[in-house]
């Protein structure tokens, strides 16, 4: 006897989360190969690789999770909606996708850090994992809205991301890395609290948009 | 027998009212033809009936139960719509294999063996991406999903678009065979009316956001006539009947008539011919304002 629609939807989105992980894994492997070629023979190759790969892996995870969420509202969700999925299953499925990708992905990264005795950035890794949830919810809501604005919406998102990247890079290049210092001094409870509030607000917005979503 | 009903359906996109207080009943165990001009509201009507889009007003039920977000109702329905090779992000790079796998995941009664058979029949390379498929192949994928879903009520929106004549005949045969074997309900929206007309037990005609008729096809055509002859004689013969699309050539006139009941005779002075569904549709759409 076939499983219920809710269960089938959950499985579909859990598999989507795994595919997202696979995409991130492929990108990380490419970076591994690139760094190996670039820094072969360097005494600090292993340590440098690990530090960078941990940060890149988390960055790719957060980024691809957001991108998958942005795409979903107008592409994959529209496809499953046209095949009889319910909107509440799709909404729950998006959360499942993020949980599967972020929990498993972060687990792999932390395991790699532990095995190579590189636990210095654990707090940042966990912080990025937590941040992925409100980012995913925000991008899912934006994905619903973007149809209205079309390519201009994309341009705005890309510009915002570019500016963010420039600011992040400038900060990293600044002696003392003020942003990292600021984050390190933040109360952990405050960070988690802000992330949870933002996550709930963005999910509420996404839920309202999802309720009236249409097949395109 | 089940009934998929739409009552007093209104659909607005901003200020534009696409469906204007439409009511329709789809009884299971029949093949329906849904015909109408481009932009008449066919796809919108089908989207509302299958809960793929929300109605602005009105209700849609299957055996009295709302269809919206209802697992039981949705499990009986498949609306296989036209697949676009483009998304708003660019080309649709989903592979056919992945698309069919998604259909398998969501359609409760999915028949994988039948899907494989149809893939072979239509010669589809499942490893190809959707944006690399021709229009005909996209239609074929739509047909595969519709038929392999084994849904009790299966809706196909312009399934033969882009198909060559051989593929079209294959499709019609598949529908007939499947209907004969399972008694599934099919609703087929098509512009190639004359080819498909023999399939339709009932026809629903949509024009300008309204349903202008929903009837048994044979009964409808038994009341449709093409009356021609001398202008005065034709005018006299068809007075009191709904007539459409008058064509004048000098003193000669021809009109399409849709009577309330079959007519024995229009008189000796005019020629009367039966009307095909496509010609009736054309006549009604070209001129729907001429009434008795």
Q: Which of B81, B102, B108 sits opposite A80 (nearest CB)?
A: B102
How far from B279 is each of A93, B31, B192, CA to CA, in Å? Answer: 49, 20, 12
- The neighbouring-strand residues paired with B179 are none
Q: What is the pLDDT of residues B45-54, one digit of tens each?
A: 999 999 999 9
Same structural domain, B240 and B188: no
- The predicted pLDDT at position B290 comes to 46
Q: B14 lies in which domain range? A: 3-214
Confidence of residue B292 (pLDDT cuts 50, 70, 90): very low
Q: How confident is the model over B91-96, as a mean pLDDT?
A: 93
DSSP B93-107: --BHHHHHHHHHHH-
Lowest mean pLDDT among A154-158, A210-214, B61-65: A154-158
CA-CA distance, B146 to A108, in Å (whole number)?
41
Report chain A residues whose CB lies below 8 A from the CB of B99.
Answer: 79
B chain contacts of residue A216, beta-carbon cutoff 8 Å? 88
Asked if B238 and B199 sit in the same domain, the reply is no
B234 lies in some domain: yes
DSSP codes, A122-175? HHHHHHHHHHHHHHHHHHHHHHHHHHHHTHHHHHHHHHHHHHHHHHHHHHHHST
Q: Which residue of B has its CA nearest to A90?
A: B69
Backbone angles phi, psi at B202, to 5 degrees: -130, 150
Distances (CA, A) of B125 to A50, B118, B132, B159: 42, 12, 10, 19
Is the torsion defined by CA of B208, B213, B218, B224 positive or negative?
Answer: negative
Residues B125 and B66 in one domain: yes
Residues 6+ apart with CB under 8 A from A111: none
pLDDT category of residue A178 using cuts at 50, 70 and 90: confident
Domain end call among B214, B239, B262:
B214
Nearest Cα neighbor of B85 from B72, B94, B76, B77 is: B94
Q: Could you say which of B47, B75, B87 has the minimum Cβ distance to residue A84?
A: B75
Structure tokens at B5: 């009903």
Distance CA B222, CA A3 (A): 48
pLDDT tens for each residue of B176-214: 999 999 999 999 999 988 888 889 999 999 999 999 999
The domain limits of chain A are 5-149+186-211
Residue B165 or A120, more confident: B165
- Kindly report, residue by residue over B117-165, the tens digit of the pLDDT: 999 999 999 999 999 999 999 999 999 999 999 999 999 999 998 899 9
Note whether B132 and B259 are same-domain residues. no
Kindly report, residue by residue over B220-271, the tens digit of the pLDDT: 999 999 999 999 999 999 999 999 999 998 999 999 999 999 999 898 999 9
Q: Report the sign of the C-alpha dihedral through residues A122, A123, A125, A129, in that order.
A: positive
Nearest CA distance, B72 vs chain A (angstrom): 9
Shared domain for B204 and B241, answered yes or no, is: no
Which of B214, B235, B264 is the endpoint of a domain? B214
Question: What is the rounded CA–CA span in Å between residue B55 and residue A132?
Answer: 35
Residue A145 predicted with pLDDT over 90: no
Which residues in chain A are contacts of B74 at CB distance < 8 A? 5, 84, 86
**How far does the CA of residue A184 sit from the closest CA of chain B (Å)?**
38
Q: Would B46 be classed as within a structural domain?
A: yes
Q: Work out how many domains chain B is built from and give that number.
A: 2
The pLDDT value given to residue B204: 96
A1 at interface of B, judged by CB pairs closer than 8 A:
no
Output the pLDDT for position A1.
Answer: 67
Chain-chain contact of A86 with B71 (C-beta, under 8 angstroms):
yes
Say yes or no: B138 and B173 in one domain: yes
Same domain flag for B90 and B123: yes
Q: What one-character DSSP code corresponds to residue B129?
A: B
> Does B292 reside within a domain?
no
Whether B185 and B26 have beta carbons less than 8 Å apart is answered as yes
Number of residues written out for chain B: 292
Q: How far is B263 from chain A (nearest CA, A)?
A: 45
What CA–CA distance (Å, rounded) separates A206 from B6? 29
* pLDDT, position B246: 92
> Of B67, B174, B55, whose CA–CA distance to B111 is shortest?
B174
Instruction: Please tell me the distance from the alpha carbon of residue B262 to that of residue B221, in angstroms, as a whole number.
Output: 9
Q: Kindly state whether residues B148 and B228 are assigned to the same domain.
A: no
Q: Is B275 exposed, middle or buried (0-12, 13-18, 19+ CB in 10 A)?
A: buried
pLDDT in tens, A58-86: 989 999 999 999 989 888 899 999 999 99
Token look-up 């890794």 returns: A125
> Can you give the length of chain A in residues?
216
Q: What pLDDT is recorded for position A44?
A: 67
What's the CATH number where B201 sits?
Answer: 3.40.50.300
DSSP H helices, A40-116, are 45-72, 76-81, 87-115
Residues B152 and B177 in one domain: yes
- B1 near B28, Cβ under 8 Å? yes
**Residue B266 sits in the same domain as residue B166:** no
> Is the domain of B153 the same as that of B233?
no
Residue ending a domain, among B214, B233, B249, is B214
In a domain, B86, yes or no: yes
Contact between chains at A146 and B53 (C-beta distance less than 8 A): no
Nearest residue of A to residue B71 by CA position? Answer: A5
- The answer to whether residue B281 sits within a structural domain is yes
From the number of C-beta atoms within 10 Å of its C-beta (0-12, 13-18, 19+), residue A171 rates as middle
Tokens of B41: 């509201």
Question: Could you tell me which residues come within 8 angstroms of residue A42 by beta carbon, excluding any fewer than 6 positions away?
Answer: A48
Residues B279 and B257 in one domain: yes
């Amino acid at each position: 006897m076939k499983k219920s629609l809710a269960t089938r939807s959950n499985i579909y989105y859990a598999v989507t989360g795994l595919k997202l992980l696979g995409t991130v894994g492929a990108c990380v492997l490419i970076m591994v190969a690139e760094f190996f070629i670039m820094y072969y023979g360097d005494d600090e190759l292993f340590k440098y690789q690990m530090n960078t790969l941990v940060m890149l892996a988390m960055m790719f995870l957060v980024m691809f999770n957001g991108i998958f969420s942005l795409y979903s509202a107008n592409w994959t969700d529209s496809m499953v909606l046209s095949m009889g999925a319910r909107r509440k299953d799709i909404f729950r499925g998006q959360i499942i996708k993020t949980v599967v990708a972020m929990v498993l992905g972060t687990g792999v990264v932390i395991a790699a850090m532990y095995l190579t005795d590189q636990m210095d950035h654990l707090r940042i890794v966990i912080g990025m994992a937590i941040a992925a949830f409100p980012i995913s919810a925000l991008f899912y809501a934006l994905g619903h809205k973007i149809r209205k604005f079309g390519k201009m919406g994309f341009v705005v998102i890309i510009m915002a991301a570019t500016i963010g990247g420039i600011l992040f890079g400038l900060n990293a290049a600044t002696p003392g890395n003020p942003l990292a210092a600021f984050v390190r001094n933040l109360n952990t409870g405050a960070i988690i609290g802000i992330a949870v509030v933002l996550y709930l607000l963005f999910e509420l917005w996404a839920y309202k948009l999802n309720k009236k979503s249409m097949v395109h | 027998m089940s009934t998929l009903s739409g009552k007093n359906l209104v659909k607005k996109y901003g200020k534009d009212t696409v469906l204007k207080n439409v009511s329709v009943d789809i009884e299971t165990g029949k093949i329906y033809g849904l015909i109408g001009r481009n932009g008449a509201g066919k796809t919108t009507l089908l989207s509302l009936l299958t809960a793929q889009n929300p109605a602005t007003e009105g209700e849609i039920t299957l055996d009295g139960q709302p269809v919206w977000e209802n697992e039981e109702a949705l499990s009986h329905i498949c609306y296989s719509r036209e697949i676009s090779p483009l998304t708003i992000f660019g080309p649709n790079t989903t592979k056919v294999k992945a698309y069919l796998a998604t259909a398998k995941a969501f359609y409760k009664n999915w028949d994988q063996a039948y899907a494989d058979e149809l893939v072979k029949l239509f010669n589809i390379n499942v490893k190809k991406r959707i944006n690399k498929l021709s229009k005909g192949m996209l239609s074929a994928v739509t047909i595969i999903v519709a038929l392999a879903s084994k849904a009790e009520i299966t809706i196909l929106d312009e399934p033969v678009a882009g198909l060559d004549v051989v593929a079209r005949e294959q499709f019609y045969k598949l529908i007939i065979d499947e209907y004969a074997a399972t008694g599934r309900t099919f609703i087929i929206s098509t512009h190639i009316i004359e080819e498909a007309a023999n399939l339709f037990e009932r026809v629903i005609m949509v024009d300008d956001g309204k349903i202008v008729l929903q009837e048994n096809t044979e009964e409808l055509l038994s009341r449709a006539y093409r009356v021609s002859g001398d202008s005065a004689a034709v005018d006299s013969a068809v007075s009191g009947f709904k007539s459409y699309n008058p064509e004048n050539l000098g003193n000669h006139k021809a009109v399409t008539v849709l009577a309330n009941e079959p007519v024995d005779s229009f008189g000796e002075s005019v020629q009367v011919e039966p009307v095909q569904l496509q010609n009736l549709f054309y006549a009604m759409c070209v001129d729907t304002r001429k009434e008795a």
